[in-house]
């Protein structure tokens, strides 16, 4: 028994020491830095999420780094344009070694050149109420239409949203249900649809 007890303690220490460690931080900027923190046994991924939203001339940024369950991470940039003056740009990077999420990652850029496709445009988010404004001409790599409604939590802010517009293909990773992107970044979608945008002059789906 006395021999088994030290062996159990040693095993526990080795298990703790082998936990993945990730940089953890959050900021209303396009980058942040923080201490390395050990991850839970189910969290085998370090993640960085950076987002920028432009709303009628104003720009809002947010960056979060944390541990994450690998099944929740779908890396890569995506962008969405809901109206000509409301855009969202997001980048997500995942890795699986200690401290690998240090440093900054860029938000994607989108060309202003029309790509010959179109989507229904809508943007309703808490106190910002914009009814459908008709047809939105898509640009650059945003050749899909996206429609979503649900709840977004970003840091300490939670907002209700119903949006629709043009998006890049990776925006189609969004699905109905709850999704954790990083610590403090959650989304609960009641409705989500993403499909190839029709050509200009063709029919569109109603929201």
> Is residue 31 a part of any domain in this protein?
yes
pLDDT at 15: 46
Is the Cβ–Cβ distance between 132 and 120 less than 8 Å?
yes
pLDDT at 6: 44
Contacts of 14 (CB under 8 A, 6+ apart): none
pLDDT at 97: 97
Please tell me what DSSP assigns to residue 199. Answer: B
| Number of neighbouring beta carbons within 10 Å of residue 92 | 22
> Is residue 90 a part of any domain in this protein?
yes
Stated pTM of the model: 0.83
> Is residue 26 a part of any domain in this protein?
yes
> Is residue 137 a part of any domain in this protein?
yes
In tens, the pLDDT along 159-181 reads 888 999 999 999 999 889 998 99
pLDDT at 134: 84
> Is residue 2 a part of any domain in this protein?
no
Domain of residue 142 covers 20-196
Which has the closest alpha carbon to 107: 23, 187, 29? 29
Consecutive H or E run containing 165: strand 157-167
List phi, psi (to 5°) of 2.
Answer: -70, -25
Q: How sure is the predictor about 202, in pLDDT bands with cuts at 50, 70 and 90?
A: low
Q: How far apart are CA 144 and CA 166, in angstroms?
A: 6
Is the Cβ–Cβ distance between 64 and 183 less than 8 Å?
yes
* Number of domains the chain contains: 1
Mean pLDDT of all residues in 167-196: 92
pLDDT at 125: 79
pLDDT at 154: 82
DSSP string, 66-85: EEE-GGG---S-EEEEEETT
CATH classification of the domain holding 52:
2.10.60.10
In tens, the pLDDT along 106-160 reads 999 888 999 999 999 988 877 555 555 689 999 999 999 999 999 998 878 888 8
List phi, psi (to 5°) of 102.
Answer: -70, 155
3-class state of residue 128 by DSSP: strand
In tens, the pLDDT along 8-26 reads 444 444 444 579 999 999 9
According to DSSP, the β-strands at 157-167 and 177-182 are unpaired
């Amino acid at each position: 028994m006395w021999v088994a007890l030290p062996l159990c303690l040693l095993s526990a220490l080795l298990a703790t020491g082998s936990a993945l460690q990730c940089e953890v931080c959050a900021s209303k900027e396009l980058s942040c830095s923080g201490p390395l923190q050990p991850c839970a046994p189910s969290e085998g991924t370090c993640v960085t999420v950076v987002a920028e939203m432009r709303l009628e001339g104003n720009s809002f940024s947010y960056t979060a780094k944390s541990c994450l369950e690998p099944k929740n991470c779908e890396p890569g940039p995506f962008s969405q344009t809901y109206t000509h003056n409301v855009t969202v740009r997001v980048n997500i990077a995942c890795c699986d070694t200690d401290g690998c999420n240090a440093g900054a990652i860029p938000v994607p850029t989108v060309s202003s050149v029309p790509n010959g496709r179109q989507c229904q445009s809508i943007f309703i988010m808490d106190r910002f109420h914009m009814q459908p404004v008709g047809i939105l001409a898509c640009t650059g790599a945003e050749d899909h239409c996206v429609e979503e409604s649900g709840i977004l939590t970003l840091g300490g802010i939670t907002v209700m949203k119903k949006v629709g517009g043009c998006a890049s293909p990776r925006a189609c990773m969004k699905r109905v249900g709850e999704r954790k992107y990083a610590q403090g970044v959650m989304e609960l979608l009641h409705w989500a649809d993403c499909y190839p945008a029709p050509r200009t002059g063709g029919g569109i789906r109603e929201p």
